Structure 1
Amino acid sequence: MYTRCPECRTVFKVTLAQLKARDGIVRCGRCTHVFRADQHLYALPGWRREPAAPPVTQDSPEIAPVSPRPVATRAAPTARPATEIPVVSELSLFQPGQRRVPTAVWALGNLLLLIALAGQFAYFYRDELATSAELRPYVARFCGFVGCELVAHARAFPPELVETTIAPHPRYANALRIRAVFVNRTDRPQPFPLMEVSLTDSSGTLLARRTFAAADYLDASATESDAMPPNVMFNALLEVTNPDERAAGYEVQLLPP
């Protein structure tokens, strides 16, 4: 059987189960109009049924031949008018209080969910993201906005001290020149370390100890960035005084900043 939307005149195929469900209230799949399907039943044009034969009673003296079961026959096809509305195959049941949500609202909701997920990812993995020199400024700005703390750098291993040498200063008396070569052996940028220098006499007694920052032992061009790239060697140069010219030994250590 068929029903027709009273609003847009679209014809739908309807089942008995749909008529029984929710008192026959349905929603038009084309214009979303809600109507009673059982009150707008529609007969397709060009279809007719032959009248049924009269029933046979017991009082009949003879058994009358049984007429064949009437079947639906279709008239000769006729040209449809240009204004006829096509049949739509499905009809949705109406849910009380149901409203169509605009597409723009769904798109905005999905966008907000994506932003929330990206924010959670950046918050919980901020230290790992900050190890990238390109992403660190953006992560720092994000932490300033949400109020989270960002560690200086993720340090898996200290820089490797490759070589150290000490010699009298070529131009100044009672002074020493210390050279050191170190390299970042990790696969991520690392902060420049502090360099601790200890001087001892011939018996091993400590004479002096001092800690130097990167700006003290590196050229200004080398410290333009606040991190050491991986597998790049840096040459450190320190000029220190020799206490009473008694320094006979030294020790250089790299410390976290």
Structure 2
Amino acid sequence: MTAEQAGMFTRCPGCQAVYELRARLLAEAAGVVRCGSCGKTFNSLSELFEHRPDQSDEALRGEGMPPLLEHVELRQAELPVAFEPVPDEIETDDLFTEPTPPGGDSIVRRHFWPALSAVLLVLLLIQLWALWQTPGSPIARWLGSSVQPDAALDPNQTVQIVSRDMHPHPSLDDAVIVSTSLRNQAETAIPFPVIEFRFYDASQQVLGVRRVTPEEYIQDREALERGLAAGRIMPLVLEFVIGTSDPAGFQMRFH
């Protein structure tokens, strides 16, 4: 098979170098490749061609949502149900053949309904408690809305950094991705903090400072009002464009 028949090519947006795509290497890199000529990292799927392109050729562009695959709708036939009619001449009392001691029937009826009501009440309380312990349930939101976060607590004392990591952005040369997990160590809910990120180079010089407000990393307005619950761990993944040299490390503070 010739290169023109292979059917998949990509072109570096930096130096216009053309490369033939291999399915195995493309899958390992998730579409992100580095140009062997100029060293630029780019998404090869955004510069995709069916044939080896010339300099004036345009890359393939999608037109919207992918097509839906048709499938056969599975329908289960309704199962037949047979009913046997009860003869009219059979009385209700005739269905009970065991003899009832004198006064026994009234005693059973007198204690049956209170016992059944108590069992149903216990089951209802267990179900409400389970819904209360389920995050996001209507009961949890209703009960949690009455608990206001304690704004007097210092977030630098109550917020614990469980984990943090920084790695280069897969498609932007001047950006990094920061992933971190934060935990509320307080016994009550606290407001979501403003997080300050300071990026440093290898010589510990500050490359840039960025403050991220709760509205930027929390989209749910009700969650913002409830705050960060006690003991709750909150994972965050944020992108930052540095614009200068690559940062060697970063520091986090809370306000």
TM-score range, shorter chain: 0.3 to 0.5
Bigger proportion of residues as helix: 2
Taking structure 1 as the reference length, the TM-score comes to 0.38
Which protein has the larger Cα radius of gyration, Structure 1 or Structure 2? 1
